Copies of this chain bind each other. A is one copy, B any other.
Amino acid sequence: MKQKDKNTEALILQTARSVFIEKGLAGARMQDIADKAGFNKALLHYYFTSKNKLFDIVFEQEFGDFFSHLAGILMAELPLFEKIEKIVLLDIERLTQFPGLPNFMLNEMSQNPEAIMKRMKKIPVGLILGSFQKQINSEVKKGIIKKISAQQLLINIQSLCIFPFISRPMIKGLMQMDEKAYQAMIKQRKTEVAAFIISAIKL
């Protein structure tokens, strides 16, 4: 065997992912990851050199995943309202699976904005945003929706999808929901949020 064991590597990565997402970069301990994965701490360094390198790999993976999905829908040949519905559904379903994800990503982003900026540059944002704005403008001209910038619309969509997950503890506490009630509320949002947005922009 001349390669580092792919199974071991994958197991470490997967474990690191769960610990980083739960605790964040500063809060995560290499020892925790090692214990949870069932290896010695030194092995993590053998495979990934340092905590930061390990973190970068995890982060980049999650980051890429999220944006490729979003870009996929935005660039598809679909009516505007269907795109909105698709984005909302995809977002909420993905986040239902990994509720800790946005907190992790956003927190680390505000902790280290420069690093993110670099990654962003790889994404053809101008193209994607431009084509989406064109689609919006066309609907505006047809008198179907109100004038709105692609930026503001996207921010609104993502706000309404992501925020309820980030603020889960607050919502549960404040609205006196148990986990079941919270899940029910999230499920309701899968359709309600899209309707809310469409109703907001429809003329």
Contact = CB atoms under 8 A, between A and B. Distances in A.
Interface string A135-155: 000000000001000011001
B169 A158 contact: no
Interface in A185-203: 185, 188-189, 192-193, 196-197, 199-201
What interface size band does chain A fall in?
A: 35 or more
A109 interface: yes
A183 to B, nearest CB: 14
A125 B27 contact: no
A25 to B, nearest CB: 8
Secondary structure of the A contact surface, majority rule: helix
Given A189-B152, A197-B200, A106 B167 contact: yes
A58 interface: no
A197 B200 CA distance: 7
B173 A116 contact: yes
A168 interface: yes
